[in-house]
Amino acid sequence: MPMTARARSVDGGPHHTIDVNGRHTIRTDTPERLGGTDSAPSPHELLPAMLASCVSTMICMYARVRDWPLSDVEVDAEYDAAAVPRHVQVTVNLPEGLTAGQVARLRRVAETCPVKRALETGFTFDEQIVLRPPAPATV
């Protein structure tokens, strides 16, 4: 099943609300130097955020099913948008007390993150511009 997102500008400015799969809403903005108010992440800042949260989620879900003591996981993703090819440094911070085997397995689990796999595989894009008629005036 495809995942969907619909971004709507707020008053035609750099603020947007994004409907995700018809179930969630997130916001984006731009820094003040680009005309925004920096009240939410900018769109390109969501890329490292989605990668870090995906890796962390995969690790936590895997450990939970196995009753491994994993109370504190932090995943840092540092995205270099200027590098060609683009580069992301991912650092997984696990609590002490795990065996070497558990750490090795969690490393492999982190590599299965669907976001990471999608970025590694690459994308193709189909894009279209559609002109909508204005909404009818309400009385």
Q: In tens digits, what is the pLDDT along the chain, a chain of 139 residues?
A: 899 999 999 988 999 999 999 999 999 999 999 999 999 999 999 999 999 999 999 999 999 999 998 888 999 999 999 999 999 999 999 999 999 999 999 999 999 999 999 999 999 999 999 998 888 888 7
Domain with 18 in it: 1-40
Question: Cα–Cα–Cα angle for 40, 92, 68, nearest 5°?
Answer: 115
Q: Is residue 92 part of a domain?
A: yes
For residue 22, report the phi and psi dihedrals to the nearest 5 degrees: 70, 10
> Does 48 share its domain with 36?
no
The answer to whether 115 and 126 have CB atoms below 8 angstroms apart is no
The answer to whether 29 and 37 have CB atoms below 8 angstroms apart is yes
Q: Is residue 134 part of a domain?
A: no
Contacts of 97 (CB under 8 A, 6+ apart): 69
**This prediction's pTM:** 0.86
> Does 48 share its domain with 112?
yes
- For the chain, how many structural domains are there in total? 2
> Does 79 share its domain with 99?
yes
